[in-house]
Structure 1
Amino acid sequence: MLRNIIRFKGFRKVINGGFSKPSLSSVKLTRRYNYNNGPSYRRFDNGDYSQKSSFKNFLLDKSSRKYLAILFGGCSLFYFTHLDRAPVSDRSRFIWVSRPLELTIGNYTYKATWRQTQQAILPSHHPLSIKIENIFMKIVEAAYKDPSVDNSLLDGIKWEIHVVNDPTASPNAFVLPGGKVFVFSSILPICANDDGIATVLAHEFAHQLARHTAENLSKAPIYSLLGLVLYTVTGANVINNLLLDGFLRMPASRQMETEADYIGLMIMSRACFQPRESIKVWERMANFEKQLNGGEVVNMEFLSTHPASTRRIENMAKWLPQASEIYEQSDCGSMGNYYKSFFSI
């Protein structure tokens, strides 16, 4: 809430008004009258002006630079020694969060999601649950066959498929660390067929195969440190969040979504699902988004954590030759070539 405090000799008047917003810090303006030197003004931001000033002085102090250099060198060494390669895409990424911690967070998220959706979850013997489980397990088996995949990330995981039968929910599906899979029935019309379901499941599976959860957790302290440095320059948390979201968080999220699209497409092709269907899935998703926006195409990708559906269609078309080659070289492709050669005799 914006608050002006005007102090006069012997009394104080408080004026409340303006607006309140959860993400904005309260601002206090204090006006003091000095009858000898005239009026003087001081501005207090968040009540910690001295702390901000002292931290800024620390950054600029010459005697502190050697400590900052040591800190920077240590952080750089830690960063480069914790770079890892993502499977299939071979992208270099920074991960320091341990696998047990990642699984613990996944388990916590699973319990919270289960409590919210348990009333609408179909039983495991339901035909739809069995169908989706069969498609998903083919994708897992195909991941084992990929030479770039570390199979230790898949060993010992008990995969559990949960189909949430709630047509009113937003179309969604996700795979949590630890093997818990949630598929909302509202996304099935967009999938349309088994190849479409495989497109969505392979994408969500790719997030966990590439350890995107651990990557996000690993970057969180870096974002916090950068936010602190920016605060010494701007003094405004709102501007800091806009800068971090616009230039770091959201681009990184879109990069991981694009990587999951790529990895998922290659794995579903290896699992004998038609890669061309992936383009049709995102075309149907684009039409759904258009209907949701009253028939208008809204492309605000730079403000989103996900790439626009039109861009995903372009990417799928670009990757399709490689995916088709994998499809032809997979077991199903070999079987097809066998029958072709048999009837050509």
Structure 2
Amino acid sequence: MFKQFSRFSSRMSIFQRNFSPIRSRIRYYYSNPDYYKRFNYRQDQKITFTQLLKDPTSRKYLAILFGTGSLFYITHLEEAPVSGRKRFLWIPRSLELKIGNYTYNSMLSETGNSILPSDHPLAKKVENIFGRIVEAAQKDHTVDRSQLDGIKWKVHIVNDPRAPPNAFVLPGGKVFVFSSILNICQNDDGLATVLSHEFAHQLARHTSENLSKAPIYSIIGLVLYLVTGVENINRLLLDSLLRMPASRQMETEADYIGLMIMAKACFHPEESVKLWQRMSAFEKQIGGSRSLEFLSTHPASDRRIQNISEWLPKANNIYNESECGIFTGYYKAFQDTIFDKNPVEPGFTYDRFQ
């Protein structure tokens, strides 16, 4: 051990002798600020965005960065299903699924004790409704079926009346529905509205879209900081002008996609308006005014009602073209007898778990 230490010490002494000329040169640079003039920088100066634009070398690198970034952005624009909106996607599906799996395990650890058994009547009912939504999406020619093939869908009902009304679908096909939202849904069509909306988020890959935009927001934030030098104002500008509008746009798109898919699945589109009316009344009851929509990630319920009302004629056409209007009674009876392996017990009501 001591021999090894001595060899190490001798090597360090050789390194120090070889490094001493370089060290002295560095000290000379630090003692002579004029050497920094070639880089247009002095120790007592702060680089600003204006200085970067005036410097030819900086302009060249900024042009290369902007050109390369623009080309990358254009070549990674994809069309969303059903809505046809162009969106920026570069995050691979595999990473999206890993994030979904991590979130799923976290949710199980948080809610595991409150999850109803898979053979519970409510769990089977939600599973059947969600299955009809997935089946309808698979029949849509605008949907990339590779996003749905091989997905092992699994529905979890979180029976916790204290939890706020909520439902979501994770990448990878894991569905969570909190029992506290059932009183707002009130019926199968209301529940289908919620499930189709959450399913639409994954169908449109909104998780990947958010992840894809994160580096862009960081670059814009850096540029704003170079211009203003104030971090808090920059964050407010980013949120109000970019992040929040983008989030509301995805929520609106999920409303649209979900409405069309639920209509194709033979659920009554008109019930979606009633659902958001009940949601609006619930928000007012708990004091959530949502008056500052521009600082919210979700559109106000009143705006969603307005949007859905405008889309209803198209959704009703889809409903009628799917022969739901003519064969509604027969279709429901067929679903109950063929697909519902565990029929809901008599007297089942949605408000039973409140």
- Shorter-chain TM-score: which interval? 0.7 to 0.9
2:185 pairs with 1:191: yes
Report which of the two has the higher share of helix.
2
Alignment of 1:233-248 (within 5 A): 233-248=227-242
2:77 pairs with 1:77: no
Partner amino acid for 1:314? Q
Question: Which residue is equivalent to 1:222?
Answer: 216
Structure 1, unpaired ranges of 5+: 1-48, 340-345
2:304 pairs with 1:316: no
Q: Tell me the distance in 2 between the aligned counterparts of 1:66 and 1:55.
A: 14
How high is the sequence identity, in percent, across the aligned residues?
Answer: 68
263-272 or 298-307: which moved more? 298-307
Q: Give 1:173 deviation, angstroms.
A: 0.3
Q: Tell me the distance in 2 between the aligned counterparts of 1:59 and 1:114.
A: 51
SS of equivalent to 1:183: strand
2:287 pairs with 1:302: no
SS of equivalent to 1:89: coil
Q: Give 1:237 deviation, angstroms.
A: 1.0
Partner amino acid for 1:275? P
319-328 or 64-73: which moved more? 64-73
Q: Give 1:59 deviation, angstroms.
A: 4.4
SS of equivalent to 1:53: coil
SS of equivalent to 1:124: coil
SS of equivalent to 2:47: helix
> Pairwise CA RMSD of aligned residues?
1.9
Any runs of at least 4 consecutive aligned residues in structure 1 with deviations exceeding 4 A, and if so which? 49-52, 336-339
Q: Tell me the distance in 2 between the aligned counterparts of 1:168 and 1:50.
A: 57
8 Å CA contact 1:58, 1:64 repeated in 2: yes
Alignment of 1:1-345 (within 5 A): 53=47, 57-293=51-287, 297-333=289-325, 335=327
Q: Tell me the distance in 2 between the aligned counterparts of 1:337 and 1:165.
A: 31
Q: Tell me the distance in 2 between the aligned counterparts of 1:130 and 1:87.
A: 28
8 Å CA contact 2:201, 2:254 repeated in 1: yes
Q: Tell me the distance in 1 between the aligned counterparts of 2:44 and 2:199.
A: 49
65-74 or 53-62: which moved more? 53-62
Q: Give 1:68 deviation, angstroms.
A: 1.4
Distance change >3 Å, CA 51–CA 288, structure 1 → 2: farther
- For residues 177-211 of structure 1, the C-alpha deviation after alignment (integer angstroms, 9 at most, x for no partner) is 00000000000000000000000000000000000
Distance change >3 Å, CA 119–CA 326, structure 1 → 2: same
Report which of the two has the higher share of strand.
1
Distance change >3 Å, CA 242–CA 51, structure 1 → 2: farther
Q: Tell me the distance in 2 between the aligned counterparts of 1:64 and 1:298.
A: 44
Partner amino acid for 1:91? R
Q: Tell me the distance in 2 between the aligned counterparts of 1:302 and 1:55.
A: 28
Partner amino acid for 1:107? N
Partner amino acid for 2:314? Q
8 Å CA contact 1:206, 1:260 repeated in 2: yes
Q: Tell me the distance in 2 between the aligned counterparts of 1:73 and 1:129.
A: 52
May I ask how many residue pairs the two structures share in their alignment? 289
Distance change >3 Å, CA 63–CA 199, structure 1 → 2: same
8 Å CA contact 1:52, 1:232 repeated in 2: no
SS of equivalent to 2:152: coil
| TM-score between both structures, scaled by the size of structure 2 | 0.78
Which entry has the higher C-alpha Rg, 1 or 2? 2
Q: Give 1:113 deviation, angstroms.
A: 1.1
